[in-house]
Structure formats: C-alpha cells, structure tokens
C-alpha cells in the first residue's frame, strides 16, 4: 500500500519543481500563481498575487474558471512545503495543462528566505 509520502515522491518525479532561487522569475513569467493550501493558511499569509484554490477543490475550480480554461497557460503552484503542490501539478497535467510548475520547499522555504509575504490585516473591533 502506498503512503502519502510515496504519492508525493511519485508526483515530484513526473512534475517540474522549480528551485526557490528561480521562483520569483517563474512567478513573473506565469499567467497565474495558485496557492493550493487551505483558506486559513492563505489568510495567515500568502505570496503576493496568489489565487487561492485549495487542492481539494482544484479540479472543480479549474473547470469553472474561464480564465484558467486554456491548457497552455503558465502556472506556478505552491503549498506549505511542496507536497500538495506536487500532487496538484500532477493532477493539472492529467487534466491536460502543459506548463505547470511547483515551488520547491513551498511557502515555508519562501518565508525562511525572508521573501515578501502578504498578510491581510484583520479588522479590529475594539
């Protein structure tokens, strides 16, 4: 029986993972940057310009969003540490997307390098 780790390793072997040092350039060249984490993770901080599409909803959201219908758009994905992003990249490839990359190390690696993060300000009810 395969474990989650096995599935992630398999996904990483057949998808393109970009090194953190190349991530900013890849994001600039991408048509869309997708955060596949959950809504609470996104709300706590995310990469500027990222669109939230949780991995569990990915196939449904991609099918329902006309802006993401073209299979030749440039896509960069990320999650917390890169596992969910690799699985999402594999899914997108199975759906026919041709140019999908994920960020090695994910959001945690991005933060560890001190790269900029958007942290929405929460309203104060004082």
User: Within a domain: residue 43?
Assistant: yes
pLDDT at 10: 94
pLDDT at 120: 77
What is the total residue count of the chain?
126
* Structure tokens given for 78: 């990320």
Query: Which of 55, 19, 49, 51 lies closest to 36, judged by CA?
Result: 55
Per-residue pLDDT tens digits for 38-92: 999 999 999 999 999 999 999 999 999 999 999 999 999 999 999 999 999 999 9
- C-alpha 122/C-alpha 96 separation (Å) is 38
Averaged over 115-122, what is the pLDDT? 86
Number of folded domains in the chain? 1
Per-residue pLDDT tens digits for 8-41: 999 999 999 999 999 999 999 999 999 999 999 9
pLDDT at 89: 98
> In this structure, what DSSP letter does residue 68 have?
G
Q: Which residues form the domain of 89?
A: 4-112
Instruction: Give 21-27 contacts, CB < 8 A, sequence gap 24+.
Output: 23/76, 23/103, 23/104, 23/110, 24/115, 26/76, 26/101, 26/103, 27/76
User: Within a domain: residue 28?
Assistant: yes
């Amino acid at each position: 029986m395969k474990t989650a780790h096995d599935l992630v390793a398999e996904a990483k072997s057949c998808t393109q993972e970009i090194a953190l040092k190349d991530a900013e350039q890849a994001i600039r060249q991408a048509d869309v940057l997708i955060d596949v984490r959950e809504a609470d993770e996104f709300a706590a901080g995310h990469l500027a310009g990222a669109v939230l599409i949780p991995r569990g909803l990915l196939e449904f959201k991609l099918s329902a969003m006309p802006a993401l219908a073209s299979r030749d758009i440039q896509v960069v994905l990320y999650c917390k540490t890169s596992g969910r992003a690799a699985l999402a990249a594999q899914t997108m490839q199975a759906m026919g997307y041709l140019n999908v990359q994920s960020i090695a190390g994910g959001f945690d690696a991005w933060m560890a390098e001190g790269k900029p993060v958007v942290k929405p300000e929460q309203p104060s009810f004082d």
